[in-house]
Structure 1
Amino acid sequence: MSIDYYQQQAEPFYHGTINVDMSPLYQRFLPYVPKGGSIVDAGCGSGRDSLYFTNLGFKVLAFDASPALVNLAEQHTGLAISQCRFEQFTPIEPVDAIWACASLLHVPRVELNKVMAHLAAQLKPNGVFYCSFKYGQDEVSRDGRHFTNVDEAGLNELIKDLPLSIIEHWQTGDLRQGREHERWLNVLLRKA
Protein backbone atom coordinates (compact mmCIF):
# COMPACT_ATOMS: atom_id res chain seq x y z
CA MET A 1 0.00 0.00 0.00
CA SER A 2 2.70 2.52 1.00
CA ILE A 3 4.78 1.54 -2.05
CA ASP A 4 1.91 2.57 -4.33
CA TYR A 5 1.77 5.94 -2.55
CA TYR A 6 5.48 6.56 -3.12
CA GLN A 7 5.21 5.46 -6.74
CA GLN A 8 2.51 8.07 -7.35
CA GLN A 9 3.97 10.78 -5.08
CA ALA A 10 7.70 10.24 -5.73
CA GLU A 11 8.39 13.74 -7.10
CA PRO A 12 6.58 15.73 -4.36
CA PHE A 13 8.05 13.45 -1.67
CA TYR A 14 11.54 13.88 -3.12
CA HIS A 15 11.26 17.68 -3.21
CA GLY A 16 9.72 17.78 0.27
CA THR A 17 12.53 15.80 1.91
CA ILE A 18 15.71 16.33 -0.10
CA ASN A 19 16.77 19.54 1.66
CA VAL A 20 15.73 18.72 5.23
CA ASP A 21 18.65 19.34 7.62
CA MET A 22 19.28 16.00 9.30
CA SER A 23 22.52 17.03 11.02
CA PRO A 24 21.13 16.66 14.60
CA LEU A 25 20.45 12.98 13.85
CA TYR A 26 23.70 12.41 11.96
CA GLN A 27 25.61 13.82 14.96
CA ARG A 28 24.16 11.13 17.22
CA PHE A 29 24.56 8.24 14.77
CA LEU A 30 27.93 8.72 13.09
CA PRO A 31 30.17 8.56 16.21
CA TYR A 32 29.23 4.86 16.40
CA VAL A 33 30.27 4.10 12.81
CA PRO A 34 33.96 3.36 12.10
CA LYS A 35 35.66 5.88 9.80
CA GLY A 36 35.10 4.71 6.21
CA GLY A 37 32.73 2.00 7.46
CA SER A 38 29.75 0.51 5.67
CA ILE A 39 26.26 1.97 6.14
CA VAL A 40 23.03 0.55 4.76
CA ASP A 41 20.45 3.27 4.03
CA ALA A 42 17.32 1.14 4.47
CA GLY A 43 14.35 2.72 2.71
CA CYS A 44 16.54 5.52 1.35
CA GLY A 45 13.74 7.61 -0.20
CA SER A 46 15.29 10.59 -1.97
CA GLY A 47 18.86 9.44 -1.31
CA ARG A 48 19.54 12.54 0.82
CA ASP A 49 21.23 10.60 3.63
CA SER A 50 23.05 8.21 1.28
CA LEU A 51 24.70 11.15 -0.45
CA TYR A 52 25.66 12.77 2.87
CA PHE A 53 27.29 9.58 4.16
CA THR A 54 29.04 8.94 0.83
CA ASN A 55 30.47 12.46 0.83
CA LEU A 56 31.97 11.75 4.27
CA GLY A 57 33.78 8.69 2.92
CA PHE A 58 31.48 5.94 4.16
CA LYS A 59 30.66 2.93 1.96
CA VAL A 60 26.91 3.22 1.38
CA LEU A 61 24.53 0.48 0.29
CA ALA A 62 21.08 1.92 -0.28
CA PHE A 63 17.72 0.46 -1.18
CA ASP A 64 14.07 1.43 -1.43
CA ALA A 65 10.93 -0.51 -2.35
CA SER A 66 9.62 2.19 -4.71
CA PRO A 67 11.08 2.00 -8.24
CA ALA A 68 10.28 5.70 -8.78
CA LEU A 69 12.21 6.71 -5.65
CA VAL A 70 15.09 4.40 -6.56
CA ASN A 71 15.33 6.24 -9.89
CA LEU A 72 15.29 9.68 -8.24
CA ALA A 73 17.80 8.60 -5.57
CA GLU A 74 20.17 7.24 -8.22
CA GLN A 75 19.99 10.54 -10.12
CA HIS A 76 20.62 12.50 -6.91
CA THR A 77 23.45 10.39 -5.51
CA GLY A 78 25.14 8.77 -8.50
CA LEU A 79 24.99 5.51 -6.50
CA ALA A 80 23.51 2.21 -7.63
CA ILE A 81 20.39 1.92 -5.45
CA SER A 82 18.77 -1.50 -5.03
CA GLN A 83 15.01 -1.83 -5.52
CA CYS A 84 13.76 -4.22 -2.84
CA ARG A 85 11.82 -4.53 0.38
CA PHE A 86 13.48 -4.67 3.82
CA GLU A 87 13.20 -8.45 4.11
CA GLN A 88 14.72 -8.93 0.62
CA PHE A 89 17.89 -6.94 1.26
CA THR A 90 21.02 -8.97 1.96
CA PRO A 91 24.47 -7.41 1.47
CA ILE A 92 27.41 -9.54 0.33
CA GLU A 93 29.04 -9.17 3.74
CA PRO A 94 27.93 -7.87 7.15
CA VAL A 95 27.86 -4.08 7.56
CA ASP A 96 28.92 -1.66 10.29
CA ALA A 97 25.65 0.27 10.48
CA ILE A 98 22.05 0.47 9.35
CA TRP A 99 20.25 3.80 8.94
CA ALA A 100 16.47 3.34 8.73
CA CYS A 101 15.23 6.92 8.98
CA ALA A 102 11.42 7.19 8.86
CA SER A 103 11.18 4.00 6.82
CA LEU A 104 10.44 1.03 9.10
CA LEU A 105 7.31 2.84 10.27
CA HIS A 106 5.60 1.62 7.08
CA VAL A 107 5.97 -2.04 8.10
CA PRO A 108 2.83 -3.44 9.76
CA ARG A 109 3.43 -4.21 13.45
CA VAL A 110 2.76 -7.93 12.91
CA GLU A 111 5.76 -8.04 10.48
CA LEU A 112 8.05 -5.51 12.18
CA ASN A 113 9.86 -7.90 14.55
CA LYS A 114 10.70 -10.27 11.68
CA VAL A 115 11.88 -7.40 9.46
CA MET A 116 14.09 -5.95 12.21
CA ALA A 117 15.53 -9.42 12.94
CA HIS A 118 16.41 -9.76 9.23
CA LEU A 119 18.12 -6.36 9.19
CA ALA A 120 19.95 -7.02 12.48
CA ALA A 121 21.32 -10.23 10.93
CA GLN A 122 23.09 -8.07 8.30
CA LEU A 123 25.08 -6.20 10.97
CA LYS A 124 28.57 -7.03 12.22
CA PRO A 125 28.86 -7.71 15.96
CA ASN A 126 28.69 -4.33 17.77
CA GLY A 127 27.13 -2.81 14.64
CA VAL A 128 24.79 0.13 15.15
CA PHE A 129 21.19 0.37 13.97
CA TYR A 130 19.37 3.74 13.83
CA CYS A 131 15.62 3.78 13.26
CA SER A 132 12.80 6.26 13.81
CA PHE A 133 9.05 6.00 14.18
CA LYS A 134 6.22 8.43 14.62
CA TYR A 135 5.54 8.49 18.36
CA GLY A 136 2.56 6.49 19.62
CA GLN A 137 1.13 3.02 20.16
CA ASP A 138 -1.27 2.60 17.26
CA GLU A 139 -1.28 1.72 13.58
CA VAL A 140 -2.92 4.13 11.16
CA SER A 141 -3.50 4.41 7.43
CA ARG A 142 -3.45 7.90 5.98
CA ASP A 143 -3.45 9.05 2.35
CA GLY A 144 -2.53 5.59 1.07
CA ARG A 145 0.29 4.99 3.57
CA HIS A 146 0.48 2.65 6.54
CA PHE A 147 2.15 3.86 9.75
CA THR A 148 3.16 1.75 12.73
CA ASN A 149 3.69 4.17 15.59
CA VAL A 150 6.08 3.22 18.40
CA ASP A 151 6.70 4.57 21.91
CA GLU A 152 9.27 3.45 24.51
CA ALA A 153 7.15 0.50 25.72
CA GLY A 154 6.55 -0.60 22.13
CA LEU A 155 10.27 -0.34 21.40
CA ASN A 156 11.16 -2.57 24.34
CA GLU A 157 8.56 -5.10 23.21
CA LEU A 158 9.81 -4.94 19.62
CA ILE A 159 13.45 -5.73 20.42
CA LYS A 160 13.07 -8.05 23.44
CA ASP A 161 13.82 -11.19 21.39
CA LEU A 162 16.34 -9.56 19.03
CA PRO A 163 20.15 -9.46 19.41
CA LEU A 164 19.87 -5.68 19.83
CA SER A 165 20.24 -3.45 22.87
CA ILE A 166 19.32 0.21 23.22
CA ILE A 167 22.21 2.68 23.21
CA GLU A 168 19.82 5.61 23.53
CA HIS A 169 16.41 6.83 22.43
CA TRP A 170 15.03 10.35 22.27
CA GLN A 171 12.07 12.29 20.94
CA THR A 172 12.21 15.02 18.34
CA GLY A 173 9.75 17.15 16.40
CA ASP A 174 9.45 16.59 12.67
CA LEU A 175 12.30 18.38 10.87
CA ARG A 176 10.13 19.32 7.89
CA GLN A 177 8.71 22.84 7.64
CA GLY A 178 5.24 23.15 9.12
CA ARG A 179 5.25 19.68 10.74
CA GLU A 180 7.24 20.47 13.88
CA HIS A 181 4.29 19.42 16.08
CA GLU A 182 4.61 15.77 14.94
CA ARG A 183 6.63 13.74 17.45
CA TRP A 184 9.20 11.09 16.51
CA LEU A 185 10.91 8.37 18.54
CA ASN A 186 14.55 8.07 17.48
CA VAL A 187 16.45 4.97 18.48
CA LEU A 188 20.10 3.88 18.40
CA LEU A 189 20.58 0.14 18.87
CA ARG A 190 23.71 -1.99 19.09
CA LYS A 191 24.00 -5.58 17.94
CA ALA A 192 25.31 -8.03 20.53
Structure 2
Amino acid sequence: MTDRETLDVYAAKAGEYADLVKDAGDDPMVQRFVAHVPAGAPVLDIGCGPGFAAAAMAQAGLEAHAWDPVPEMLDLVRAHPGVTARQAGYDDLTGKAIYAGVWSNFSMLHTPLAKWPDYFAAIHTALIPRGILHFGVKLGSGEHRDSIGRLYSYMTEDDLTDLLTRTGFIIDVSRTGEEAGLSGEVAPFIVLQATRA
Protein backbone atom coordinates (compact mmCIF):
# COMPACT_ATOMS: atom_id res chain seq x y z
CA MET A 1 0.00 0.00 0.00
CA THR A 2 1.66 3.19 -1.17
CA ASP A 3 -1.26 5.59 -1.74
CA ARG A 4 -0.31 8.64 0.31
CA GLU A 5 -3.88 9.81 1.01
CA THR A 6 -4.83 6.36 2.32
CA LEU A 7 -1.71 6.12 4.48
CA ASP A 8 -2.38 9.58 5.93
CA VAL A 9 -5.94 8.61 6.87
CA TYR A 10 -4.72 5.54 8.77
CA ALA A 11 -1.95 7.53 10.43
CA ALA A 12 -4.41 10.15 11.65
CA LYS A 13 -7.04 7.63 12.73
CA ALA A 14 -4.86 4.81 14.09
CA GLY A 15 -6.43 4.91 17.56
CA GLU A 16 -9.96 5.15 16.20
CA TYR A 17 -9.31 2.22 13.88
CA ALA A 18 -7.85 0.18 16.74
CA ASP A 19 -11.05 0.74 18.74
CA LEU A 20 -13.10 -0.42 15.74
CA VAL A 21 -11.20 -3.71 15.29
CA LYS A 22 -10.19 -4.46 18.90
CA ASP A 23 -12.07 -7.77 18.85
CA ALA A 24 -10.36 -9.00 15.66
CA GLY A 25 -8.38 -11.62 17.57
CA ASP A 26 -11.64 -13.30 18.60
CA ASP A 27 -12.77 -13.78 14.99
CA PRO A 28 -13.52 -17.50 14.32
CA MET A 29 -11.50 -17.17 11.12
CA VAL A 30 -8.44 -16.36 13.22
CA GLN A 31 -9.04 -19.50 15.25
CA ARG A 32 -9.47 -21.58 12.09
CA PHE A 33 -6.26 -20.10 10.64
CA VAL A 34 -4.30 -20.92 13.81
CA ALA A 35 -5.70 -24.47 13.85
CA HIS A 36 -4.42 -25.08 10.31
CA VAL A 37 -0.85 -23.97 11.01
CA PRO A 38 1.74 -26.27 12.64
CA ALA A 39 2.58 -25.41 16.25
CA GLY A 40 5.23 -22.71 16.51
CA ALA A 41 5.33 -22.06 12.77
CA PRO A 42 6.03 -18.62 11.29
CA VAL A 43 3.02 -16.66 10.01
CA LEU A 44 2.66 -13.22 8.46
CA ASP A 45 -0.11 -10.68 9.04
CA ILE A 46 0.37 -8.29 6.11
CA GLY A 47 -1.38 -4.96 6.37
CA CYS A 48 -1.82 -5.78 10.04
CA GLY A 49 -3.19 -2.46 11.28
CA PRO A 50 -3.01 -2.41 15.11
CA GLY A 51 -2.08 -6.10 15.14
CA PHE A 52 -4.89 -7.78 17.05
CA ALA A 53 -4.99 -10.82 14.73
CA ALA A 54 -1.20 -11.18 14.93
CA ALA A 55 -1.42 -10.93 18.72
CA ALA A 56 -3.91 -13.81 18.81
CA MET A 57 -1.55 -15.86 16.65
CA ALA A 58 1.36 -15.12 18.98
CA GLN A 59 -0.75 -16.02 22.02
CA ALA A 60 -1.49 -19.35 20.31
CA GLY A 61 2.25 -20.05 20.14
CA LEU A 62 2.91 -19.13 16.53
CA GLU A 63 5.88 -17.07 15.36
CA ALA A 64 3.88 -13.98 14.43
CA HIS A 65 5.23 -11.37 12.03
CA ALA A 66 3.16 -8.23 11.43
CA TRP A 67 3.76 -5.82 8.54
CA ASP A 68 2.14 -2.46 7.95
CA PRO A 69 3.27 0.65 6.05
CA VAL A 70 1.90 3.06 8.69
CA PRO A 71 4.28 3.84 11.60
CA GLU A 72 1.39 4.84 13.86
CA MET A 73 -0.12 1.38 13.42
CA LEU A 74 3.20 -0.30 14.16
CA ASP A 75 3.44 1.66 17.42
CA LEU A 76 0.23 -0.13 18.44
CA VAL A 77 1.48 -3.51 17.18
CA ARG A 78 4.59 -3.29 19.35
CA ALA A 79 2.40 -3.34 22.46
CA HIS A 80 1.52 -6.99 21.72
CA PRO A 81 3.94 -9.51 23.28
CA GLY A 82 5.51 -11.98 20.89
CA VAL A 83 4.72 -10.09 17.68
CA THR A 84 7.56 -8.96 15.40
CA ALA A 85 6.58 -5.68 13.72
CA ARG A 86 8.03 -4.33 10.47
CA GLN A 87 7.20 -1.32 8.32
CA ALA A 88 6.57 -3.08 5.03
CA GLY A 89 3.91 -3.98 2.48
CA TYR A 90 3.11 -6.30 -0.39
CA ASP A 91 5.98 -5.05 -2.55
CA ASP A 92 8.38 -6.24 0.16
CA LEU A 93 7.16 -9.84 0.06
CA THR A 94 9.96 -11.52 -1.87
CA GLY A 95 10.90 -14.67 0.06
CA LYS A 96 10.28 -18.31 -0.85
CA ALA A 97 8.63 -20.94 1.39
CA ILE A 98 8.97 -18.82 4.53
CA TYR A 99 5.52 -18.85 6.11
CA ALA A 100 3.04 -21.56 7.07
CA GLY A 101 0.28 -18.97 6.85
CA VAL A 102 -0.32 -15.50 5.45
CA TRP A 103 -3.13 -13.35 6.89
CA SER A 104 -4.20 -10.67 4.39
CA ASN A 105 -7.36 -9.22 5.88
CA PHE A 106 -8.82 -6.14 4.15
CA SER A 107 -5.42 -4.70 3.29
CA MET A 108 -4.69 -5.63 -0.34
CA LEU A 109 -7.86 -3.71 -1.22
CA HIS A 110 -5.87 -0.49 -0.71
CA THR A 111 -3.51 -1.43 -3.57
CA PRO A 112 -4.13 -1.08 -7.34
CA LEU A 113 -6.02 -4.00 -8.90
CA ALA A 114 -3.37 -4.31 -11.61
CA LYS A 115 -0.90 -5.47 -8.95
CA TRP A 116 -3.11 -8.15 -7.40
CA PRO A 117 -1.95 -11.03 -9.65
CA ASP A 118 1.67 -10.30 -8.72
CA TYR A 119 0.84 -9.95 -5.04
CA PHE A 120 -1.05 -13.25 -4.91
CA ALA A 121 1.86 -14.90 -6.75
CA ALA A 122 4.27 -13.47 -4.16
CA ILE A 123 2.09 -14.81 -1.33
CA HIS A 124 1.95 -18.21 -3.01
CA THR A 125 5.74 -18.25 -3.29
CA ALA A 126 6.21 -17.12 0.31
CA LEU A 127 4.02 -19.92 1.66
CA ILE A 128 5.29 -23.41 2.33
CA PRO A 129 3.50 -26.25 0.48
CA ARG A 130 0.00 -26.66 1.94
CA GLY A 131 0.37 -23.28 3.65
CA ILE A 132 -2.81 -21.32 4.33
CA LEU A 133 -3.91 -17.92 3.03
CA HIS A 134 -6.60 -15.87 4.74
CA PHE A 135 -7.96 -13.08 2.56
CA GLY A 136 -10.64 -10.45 3.09
CA VAL A 137 -11.90 -7.83 0.64
CA LYS A 138 -14.93 -5.66 -0.04
CA LEU A 139 -16.98 -6.88 -2.98
CA GLY A 140 -17.56 -4.82 -6.09
CA SER A 141 -15.62 -3.72 -9.14
CA GLY A 142 -13.15 -1.02 -10.07
CA GLU A 143 -11.19 1.42 -7.93
CA HIS A 144 -12.74 4.26 -5.93
CA ARG A 145 -12.12 6.45 -2.90
CA ASP A 146 -14.39 6.24 0.11
CA SER A 147 -15.89 9.22 1.95
CA ILE A 148 -12.73 9.76 4.04
CA GLY A 149 -10.33 9.54 1.09
CA ARG A 150 -9.02 5.98 1.20
CA LEU A 151 -8.31 4.24 -2.11
CA TYR A 152 -10.27 1.02 -2.50
CA SER A 153 -9.93 -1.71 -5.11
CA TYR A 154 -12.93 -4.00 -5.41
CA MET A 155 -13.38 -7.45 -6.90
CA THR A 156 -16.35 -9.72 -7.45
CA GLU A 157 -16.46 -13.11 -5.77
CA ASP A 158 -16.22 -14.90 -9.12
CA ASP A 159 -13.22 -12.85 -10.26
CA LEU A 160 -11.45 -13.35 -6.94
CA THR A 161 -12.07 -17.10 -7.00
CA ASP A 162 -10.76 -17.28 -10.56
CA LEU A 163 -7.63 -15.29 -9.73
CA LEU A 164 -6.81 -17.39 -6.67
CA THR A 165 -7.39 -20.64 -8.54
CA ARG A 166 -5.14 -19.53 -11.42
CA THR A 167 -2.46 -18.55 -8.90
CA GLY A 168 -2.44 -22.02 -7.37
CA PHE A 169 -4.75 -21.83 -4.39
CA ILE A 170 -7.55 -24.19 -3.38
CA ILE A 171 -10.34 -22.32 -1.59
CA ASP A 172 -11.37 -24.20 1.54
CA VAL A 173 -13.95 -21.92 3.13
CA SER A 174 -15.55 -18.54 2.45
CA ARG A 175 -18.28 -16.35 3.83
CA THR A 176 -19.89 -13.12 2.72
CA GLY A 177 -21.65 -10.38 4.63
CA GLU A 178 -22.03 -6.65 5.09
CA GLU A 179 -20.58 -4.31 7.71
CA ALA A 180 -19.61 -0.71 8.34
CA GLY A 181 -15.95 0.21 8.37
CA LEU A 182 -13.95 3.21 9.56
CA SER A 183 -15.88 5.58 7.28
CA GLY A 184 -19.22 4.37 8.60
CA GLU A 185 -20.29 3.21 5.15
CA VAL A 186 -21.86 -0.26 5.01
CA ALA A 187 -20.36 -2.45 2.28
CA PRO A 188 -20.54 -6.10 1.19
CA PHE A 189 -17.45 -8.22 1.80
CA ILE A 190 -15.99 -11.69 1.43
CA VAL A 191 -13.47 -13.46 3.66
CA LEU A 192 -11.96 -16.77 2.64
CA GLN A 193 -9.21 -19.20 3.48
CA ALA A 194 -7.32 -21.14 0.87
CA THR A 195 -4.54 -23.71 0.73
CA ARG A 196 -1.40 -23.33 -1.36
CA ALA A 197 -1.55 -26.16 -3.89
**Same-fold call, TM cutoff 0.5:** yes
**CA shift at 1:33, angstroms?**
1.4
Alignment partner of 1:148 out of 141, 148, 153:
153
Matched, 1:79 2:88: no
Q: What are structure 1's unaligned runs of at least 5 residues?
A: none
Question: Is the alpha carbon distance of 1:173 and 1:145 closer, same or farther for their aligned partners in structure 2, counting shifts above 3 Å?
Answer: same
Deviations along 1:160-189, whole A, 9 cap, x unmatched? 431222222221333879x69532111111
Superposed CA RMSD in Å reads 2.5
Q: Is the 8 A contact 1:173 1:183 kept in 2?
A: yes
Alignment partner of 1:182 out of 149, 169, 187:
187
Matched, 1:159 2:134: no
Q: How many residue pairs are counted as aligned between the two chains?
A: 192
Deviations along 1:57-107, whole A, 9 cap, x unmatched? 111111101111111211244633000111213468611000111111111
Q: Percent identity?
A: 23
Residue matched to 1:125: 129
1:129 and 1:63 map into 2 onto residues whose CA distance is: 15
**CA shift at 1:20, angstroms?**
4.4
Q: Is the 8 A contact 1:22 1:175 kept in 2?
A: no
Structure 1: which amino acid aligns with 2:189? W
Question: Is the alpha carbon distance of 1:148 and 1:176 closer, same or farther for their aligned partners in structure 2, counting shifts above 3 Å?
Answer: closer
Question: Is the alpha carbon distance of 1:48 and 1:74 closer, same or farther for their aligned partners in structure 2, counting shifts above 3 Å?
Answer: same
1:15 and 1:72 map into 2 onto residues whose CA distance is: 11
2:185 and 2:30 map into 1 onto residues whose CA distance is: 18
When normalised by structure 1's length, the TM-score is 0.87
When normalised by structure 2's length, the TM-score is 0.85
Structure 2: which amino acid aligns with 1:13? Y
Matched, 1:169 2:174: yes
2:41 and 2:18 map into 1 onto residues whose CA distance is: 26
Q: What are structure 2's unaligned runs of at least 5 residues?
A: none
**3-state SS in 1 of match to 2:23:** coil
